[in-house]
Structure 1
Amino acid sequence: MKYKLIALDLDGTLKNSKNKITPKTKKALIQAQELGMKIVLASGRPTPGLRHEAKELELEKYEGYILSFNGARVVDVKTGETVYEQTLTLEEAKRAYERSKEYQLSCMTYKDNMIMTEDIDDKYVCIEGQINDIEKKKVSSFIDCLEEPIHKVLLTGDPDYVGNIEAEFKAPFGDTLSIYRSAPFFIEVMAQGIDKAASLDRLVKTLGIRQEEVIAFGDGYNDLSMIEYAGLGVAMDNAVDGVKERADMITKSHDDDGIAYTLSQVIEGIDV
């Protein structure tokens, strides 16, 4: 099989436990692009939170893509154009916020390359700011700060608690919104039908690439859809069990160059 596109989750997949892209993994991905393959950074992060990795992997030069907010926005790195976008309405975002208050969850969204939140000192809000290297801004009223387009509302809480209340929390929304966990302490709220696979499928069809020509790497709950979608869905060794169980292949961990190892095994011309 000649693969043409590589979709990569970031945290726990592309980046190791020190939050770095290792030299071996970077080398393999540059080689893949030199062979004509497209790279898509597919993450729950906001678009600005992927800028450093896009630059490091030279996605502008090789015409790669950013799939951010778990698929709510897809951007062509070279042109800066939005290829696909689906957003929440103001009313949907307000409902998510009101529901979060019932469950004592912290709530945030994104505006002008900043995190907007009433709970600026919440430890998981701080983690989101650190991961994305973007500023946090405290607002007195989350609802008053909302302004379209709204790609995602992110809720946070202690992992055990979030796991226990997830199903109950999202029950009233039915299938009107996409709501699921990414990290154990995050609940993502996005427009109906948004996940990494759905947006990846739109991009793949736009590029004229077949589904079986896609490789996807991931480790978390929000990677499951694209791992199942891809012709070759690869779980990192450090992935959650649910992802490992559904993947076509389990590779080495993000600390052991799992991406580079797999690419060198399945793509002729990649030598790391």
Structure 2
Amino acid sequence: MKYKLIALDLDGTLKNSNNEITEKTKNALIKVQELGVKIVLASGRPTPGLRHEANELELEKYEGYILSFNGARVVDVKTKDTIYEQTLTVEEAKKAYDRAKEFNLACMTYSQDTILTEDIGDEYVCVEAKINDIEKQKVESFKACLKDPIHKVLLTGKPDYVASIEEEFKQPFGDTLSIYRSAPFFIEVMAQGIDKAASLDRLAQSLGIKQEEVMAFGDGFNDLSMIEYAGLGVAMENAVEGVKERANVITKSNDEDGIAYILSQEFEGVEY
């Protein structure tokens, strides 16, 4: 079998514009798992924010994986074991918070199954909670509530403002942290060197799977590293131009079952 591991971004890739995994795409992914292919959900979301999709695709049954926080953590869905993680220190998270307050940005991080924030009414904190279907928890002191492991600190602000201050915000940290905008209103702060490709490579190595046996689907800039890493890097038709330019293949859009379309070409018995 040419491909043994398939990495899937969620929003704009696995899920359509109605935030759903269609039956056609679901059936195709179940079929390849029956053939022995391993699936990994690769997202910037926190680990609990991927549980519904993992259940839909029966990843526990087929021994799939979750790559969350853009690669800061990789978990075996069946055993719940952490395969790999790279976290912020408490001091690094405190510095990110202090810098956020200088720019009047709302700030949040994650416990096991909640969002921790002083800014519980912030509109973009509410967006993050809704996207991931996890509860918000108001804390009196963000810095006082911090404890290991810290996979990500997420900052929010109005899109135009966030765009205007992003580079200035990052300056004091140099290359000691991974800091970038994942959405127009989000700035993500994570440990140095975090990206989907690095963690996907760790997972592939642990499974004895070669780089050329990996397939990856995505649509956004945070998917670019894994699309370039994979033996077959697939950009959705709705992907940003920079990703489409670097992909091996451009498939149909997330509203046209682009994942199922490629799988039907690469695996015998998969229908589109």
Question: Into which bin does the TM-score normalised by the smaller protein fall?
Answer: over 0.9
CA distance in structure 2 between the partners assigned to 1:157 and 1:229 by the alignment: 32
1:124-163 matches, cutoff 5 A: 124-163=124-163
Q: 2:238 & 2:186 partners in 1: Cα distance?
A: 18
The count of residues paired between Structure 1 and Structure 2 equals 272
Distance (Å, rounded) in 2 between the aligned partners of 1:63 and 1:260: 20
Shift of 1:145: 1.3
AA matched with 1:74 = V
1:265 pairs with 2:265? yes
Provide TM-score, normalisation by structure 1. 0.96
- Whole-Å Cα distance in 1 between the matches of residues 112 and 37 of structure 2? 32
Shift of 1:100: 1.1
Residues 197-208 of structure 1 correspond to what in structure 2 (within 5 A)? 197-208=197-208
Q: Does 1:171 align with 2:158?
A: no
Q: How far, CA to CA, are the matches of 1:104 and 1:221 in structure 2? A: 26
Other-structure match for 2:214 = 214
One-letter amino acid matched to 1:48: P
CA–CA separation in structure 2 for the residues paired with 1:211 and 1:248: 14
Query: Which residue identity is paired with 1:107?
Result: C
User: What is the Cα deviation at residue 211 of structure 1?
Assistant: 0.7
How much does 1:72 deviate? 0.8
Q: Deviations over 1:31-58 (max 9, x none)?
A: 1101110000011111111111111100
Distance 2:244 2:122 in 1: 31
CA distance in 2, matches of 1:111, 1:40: 22
User: Would the aligned equivalents of 1:65 and 1:74 in 2 still touch at CA under 8 Å?
Assistant: yes
1:84 paired with 2:47, answer: no
Report the equivalent of 1:20.
20
**1:193-215 deviation digits (Å, cap 9, x = unpaired):** 11111110100011111111111
SS in 2 for 1:169: helix
SS at structure 2 position matched to 1:182: strand
| Moved beyond 6 Å, runs of 4+ | none
Mean Cα deviation higher: 177-186 or 203-212: 177-186
Provide the residue aligned with 1:4 in structure 2.
Answer: 4
Once residues 264 and 173 of structure 1 are traced to their aligned partners in structure 2, the CA distance between those partners, rounded to angstroms, is: 45
Q: Which residue of 1 aligns with 2:75?
A: 75
| 1:251 and 2:251 matched | yes
- Secondary structure of the 1:29 match is helix
Asked if structure 2 preserves the Cα contact closer than 8 Å seen for 1:181 and 1:222, the reply is no
Q: Is the 8 A contact 1:180 1:222 kept in 2?
A: no
Q: Is the 8 A contact 1:115 1:129 kept in 2?
A: yes
The amino acid that maps onto 1:162 is: V
Shift of 1:165: 2.2
Q: Indicate the residue corresponding to 1:238 in structure 2.
A: 238
The CA distance in 2 between the partners of 1:121 and 1:253, in whole Å, is 34
Give the secondary-structure state (helix, strand or coil) at the position aligned to 1:234: strand
Unaligned runs of 5+ in 1: none
> RMSD of aligned C-alpha atoms?
1.2
For 2:240 and 2:167, locate their aligned partners in 1 and report how far apart those are by CA, in whole Å. Answer: 19
Q: Distance in 2 between matches of 1:117 and 1:108?
A: 5
Match of 1:63 in 2: 63
* Separation in 2, partners of 1:219, 1:240: 6
Shift of 1:184: 2.2
Change (3 A) 1:256 1:92: same
The answer as to whether partners of 1:117 and 1:138 remain within 8 angstroms in 2 is yes
